Structure 1
Amino acid sequence: MTDSIFDGFERALLDLCPLERLREQEQPEAAAALWAQIDALGYTDALISEACDGAGLSLTTVFELLFTAGKAGLSQPLGETAMARALLADAGYENDNACVALAKAREGGEGIVCNDVPGAMLAERVLVQWQGEWLLLDRADAQVTPGAYRRRASASLHWRSAQPARFRFQRPEVDAEALCNALHAAAMAGAMERVLELAVEYANDRRQFGRPISQFQAVQQELAVLAEQAASAALAARMGCVGSGYLPDRLLAATAKLRACEAATRVAAIGHAVLGAIGITEEHPLGLYTARLHEWRMAPGSEVRCAQVLGQAVLAAPQSSLFDFVRTHLAPGEVA
């Protein structure tokens, strides 16, 4: 049953997000029209509990949707919206079908400052964790600084105060950084799978010295490394989403994001090496995917931050060896 659900979602995204139109769909009017069609499919309510009229799926199950959205090149923050809606529904907020980005405010900033929020320019609202509480804020009320990698889609945001918040609630046990780590790792794994497909397709079509370049040993080696990195990132991202509910484990999410970030640098470099100059043109989608990979790498919950989280946990653990820590803290448990 779940396979048929995911297949339907992938088919719908292929129709709604053709590769040749991905850049156009970051324009405001096109993005709004696309989101209305995406939201109408119903998958954005997947994590909302059945008691709140949602599907009540676990994050483990929804991993496939996050992976598929990343692979399709969907610009809007679908995973963040699904997670935000689940949190808001549990807090008693009525769903208004808005596209919602997810962020953690910078500590010690003047006002509410959220740096490098993926998809923020395409979201109507932002669910922000700030000073021990969660705030639902309108993106239009924020001072916006366009993102470095996707200036039309992502941004850093600054609100002067929490006064304009539409809704606020307490969930101190939920960490926005862990949520973003799990969601971004899954989307990055999907994007890397698409980069692999683009590279293999080009290598099979491009001919040099009378034969496809995919038959040259040097190219085959590079494609093998690319496939290895993409597969390891997908496995780690799936592990980061393991659980019986919709909230990820903080350490597993950090592990997944760290592996995805490490793989993304190799995948992006090899993808562009195989395609050469055509890969950086506006007409080819490769540059769009690699830009998103680098954007997710630099978003809060970066590889440096994930390494710090894991390192601090290792030092604080009572076990005597790193192996014991991995065995007891980083081995996904059984899924209910």
Structure 2
Amino acid sequence: MTDAIFDGFERALLDLCTLERLRAQETPHVAARLWEQIDALGYTDALVSEARGGAGLPLSQVFELLFVAAKAGLSLPFGETAVARALLADAGYFNDGACIVLAKAQPLEGDEIYCVDVPGAALATRALVEWRGEWLLLDCSSAVLTPGSYRNQASASLSWASPAVALLRFLHPRADAEVLCNAVHAAAMAGAMERVLELSVEYANDRRQFGKAIGQFQALQQELAVLAEQASTASLSARMGCAADGYLPDPLLAATAKLRACEAAARVTAIGHAVLGAIGITEEHPLGLFTARLHEWRMTAGSELRCAELLGQALLDEPTSSLFDFVRTRLSPGQPA
């Protein structure tokens, strides 16, 4: 991706996602107007092939967009929509500008479709759900919504009585909702952690105690160094998780990226709130918005435990390989799956 495209998106987000609007955009009415402005920029079709009216960019390049969207504080499911539109375009579905969340339905008896704690679901108009081996495009307005555990205005659990209400049903054997969410959420978590680092450093330089900035105290400098280290490794692993020529990431790389992001997020959120103290949880300061999103991403789609189990099972399935060989051959970008 050229620097001009990336810079253009970042500049637009800075204008649309001001600090004053970060909290307001997690309400449906404001989010709907904001989505119209975001979608008009054209970046949501980045993964759609050129033949179908998109930019035809691979996920490895779109990583930059996912990262900067989360860093700017965009509460809408930008990355999920970009991936969903690529899937829908391959299925021959016409893009109608909808904001779309991705989810995998819980295994239940009967025809009920139930998705737990879907980030941004209360702000989206459609949901692309993987259900019993097929993909369903569903209208969020026809779902029973239960407020999310971490962001009760922006996220929700979704339930539909049966697949009969689906706007579209199609098969895509190579696509897996959990894998896609792992890659997208890892990139978003890396962007959010970068913003937490910036907010923490800014506060440490501005807040004065005993006649000097608290950022000059060695103990705090050590904590900020750890925060920066965690954010940096999360960004590197997220970039590896998105290392795909198309829009379908490698399952093990995506799980590795999400696992590292989850581990880093626990340290980053703790240090960020320790640095800012009580002000970090007030409505006047944006830190709490970013840390809440990080905790939500940790627990949704492929959770930390789920990713660890997937990687562990993959290693056990190759008993002839040493741990070093497994990492070298299966967890390196560009290696065959």
Q: What TM-score results when the alignment is normalised by the length of structure 2?
A: 0.98
Of 319-328 and 233-242, more deviation after overlay is shown by 319-328
Alignment of 1:225-244 (within 5 A): 225-244=226-245
For 1:94, the equivalent position in structure 2 comes to 94
Cα RMSD after superposing both structures: 1.1
CA distance in 1, matches of 2:319, 2:50: 39
What CA distance in whole angstroms lies between the structure 2 residues aligned with 1:268 and 1:190?
13
Question: Is 1:122 matched up with 2:123?
Answer: yes
Alpha-carbon offset, residue 25 of structure 1 = 1.1
Q: Is residue 2:5 matched to residue 1:15?
A: no
CA distance in 2 between counterparts of 1:317 and 1:5 reads: 42
Aligned pairs for 1:59-78 (under 5 A) are 59-78=59-78
| 2:182 corresponds to 1:181 | yes
CA contact (8 A) 1:319 1:325 kept: no
C-alpha displacement of 1:246: 1.0
SS at match of 1:253: helix
Alignment check: 8 A CA contact 2:28 2:154 kept: no
Gaps of 5+ in 1: none
SS of equivalent residue, structure 1 residue 121: coil
Structure 2: unaligned runs, 5 residues or longer: none
In structure 2, the CA distance between the partners of 1:24 and 1:215, relative to structure 1 (3 Å rule), is: same
Which stretch shows the higher mean deviation, 1-10 or 146-155?
1-10
SS of match in other structure, 1:48: coil
* 1:334 shift after superposition: 7.5
What's 2:3 paired with?
Answer: 3
For 1:1-336, list aligned pairs within 5 A.
2-108=2-108, 110=110, 111-333=112-334
* Contact 2:193–2:265, Cα closer than 8 Å, also in 1: yes
Number of aligned residue pairs? 335
In the alignment, is the contact (CA less than 8 A) between 2:113 and 2:159 conserved in 1? yes
Letter matched to residue 103 of structure 1:
A
Question: 1:20–1:283: 8 Å Cα contact kept in structure 2?
Answer: no
- 1:227 counterpart letter in structure 2: A
Q: Deviations over 1:253-273 (max 9, x none)?
A: 000000000000000000000
Structure 1, 196-205 or 24-33: larger mean CA deviation: 24-33
2:56 maps to a residue whose letter is G
Displacement over 6 Å in runs of 4+:
none
What is the rounded CA distance, in whole Å, between the counterparts of 2:3 and 2:252 in structure 1?
28
C-alpha separation in 2, matches of 1:313 and 1:330: 11
Report if the CA contact (8 A) 2:329-2:335 is conserved.
Answer: no
Partner SS for 2:175 = coil
Counterpart-to-counterpart distance in 1, 2:325 and 2:209: 51
Shift of 1:319: 3.2
Superimposed CA distance per residue, residues 60-79 of structure 1 (whole angstroms, 9 cap, x where no aligned partner): 00000000011011011000
Identity %: 74
Q: What TM-score, normalized by structure 1, do the two folds share?
A: 0.98
Distance across 1 between alignment mates of 2:21 and 2:284: 10
Cα contact 2:102–2:127 (8 A) shared by 1:
yes
Deviations 1:14-61 (A, max 9, x none): 000012211111122211100000000000000000110110000000
